[in-house]
Amino acid sequence: MPKPAQFDVNALVEPDRVHRSCYTDEDIFRRELEHIFHKTWIYMGHESQIEQPGDYVMAQIGLQPMLLVRGADGEIHVLYNVCPHRGTMLCNRHTGNTGKTFMCSYHGWQFHLDGKIHGIPSEKGYDNTRFYEHESAKGMQPAARVANYRGFFFASLAAEGPDLLTFLGDAKQAFDDMCDRAPEGEVEIVPNCFRIIQKSNWKIFLENQLDALHPSVTHASTGHAAAEVEQEMKAETGEDPPMSYHFLSAFTTPLSKWEQFETVGHPNGHCSLQGYMGLRPKDPDTLEYEAVMREHYGAERAEEILSVNLHHVLVYPCLSVQPALQQLRAVRPLSADRTLTEIWHFRLKGAPEPIYRRALDYYYLVNSPSTMVNADDLHNFWRCHQGLSTASGEWVSFHRNAGQDPETDGTMTSVTGLSEMPMRNMYRAWSKLMAEG
């Protein structure tokens, strides 16, 4: 089946399969930018990245270059990273402090931290012209809407639509779980991140995150190697190895156990996967952390927080969050076959240092560009995209357990952990957004 000449969602997406052009076609990608990334809430950054006036962070909404910046009055703004005079990019570093103003390196225009014009060289030249009626006279263009939840800032280029909390719905548990696990109830970002350009479509990455079938296949070699070392260490010492080995050996989890885990598809394309790794060993570091949690929250509330059984949350279409491990991956599409992912991790304020080191271990061993786990995934993403770009077959199959997952008030619960419900749920949101307007 060729791609429909005129865009028609019903011809591209069916309840249990998707046309391959949804991944490979540049026209469809451009429509995704306009109808999905420009209209939903997209993650910009965390408040701890911009603590002082003038601090800024570069981010993208679709292909639009944006700045998250703290103003002189402490207010946080999201502005286009563009000088309104001739279109010059104002900042070219990922993060920094611009001082009291932004200044264009081309013609010296200056802007306040809220984007309004501070000064224009030789401004008299605009007397008796139409300049002050022109959009350039308004300064740097702001995002239509900016909002944050528990310090995580989002922006939308659409002036109308659901507010951030409504849009997040149950997906806000990603931020609640991460922040609640901090004794002080807040997290702070570790300043630098890994950036990877994946040679594949952005949806392939998101679909993989809650694909419970692939870990014990794709990552089997890594998992079994780590499990063998664990066994040798325990035989020699009589003690359980450090949890960092468990992060990798967990990939030996058999399919029969994956079937028992639960995934949930929330409205607006968000999805979650319950925990599959034991994160509460009885080692001294964990016991110390749990004691600190009880001091801050009380025994009952601390146990409630520590018992949350959540491994992964997708905030559609822009985030992959692993709250119990303090990890966040931001998705920035570049083209139909190129995707930038930013991999961040966080500290739990008030938690003992070994708990941060544990998150750092996971960051390096599982999510970094250099680990075999991520390398396996990236290679599969590329192979998948290459295959979808051929003439071999027109449809991508999402048939596993199709029509079997129970649904209540727009929320679907997987009948088995291996159900392809998360993919179908994301495409349900994709179809709705792509058809609007």
8 Å CB contact between 255 and 290? no
* pLDDT tier for residue 398 given thresholds of 50, 70 and 90: very high
Is pLDDT larger for residue 437 or for residue 221? 221
Strands 102-103 and 64-70, by their bridges, are unpaired
Q: Report whether pLDDT(278) > 80.
A: no
- Residue whose C-alpha is closest to residue 342's, from 143, 192, 152, 146: 192
Q: Report whether pLDDT(157) > 50.
A: yes
Would you mind telling me the total number of residues written for the chain in this entry?
Answer: 437
Q: Which CATH class is domain 42-156?
A: mainly beta
* pLDDT tier for residue 1 given thresholds of 50, 70 and 90: very low
Mean pLDDT of 297-313: 96
SS3 390: coil
Q: Which CATH architecture has domain 169-435?
A: Alpha-Beta Complex (3.90)
Taking the domains of the chain in order of start, what are their residue ranges?
42-156, 169-435
Per residue in 354-381, pLDDT tens? 999 999 999 999 999 989 999 999 999 9
Give residue 190's Cα distance to chain centre: 16
Per residue in 192-206, pLDDT tens? 899 999 999 999 999
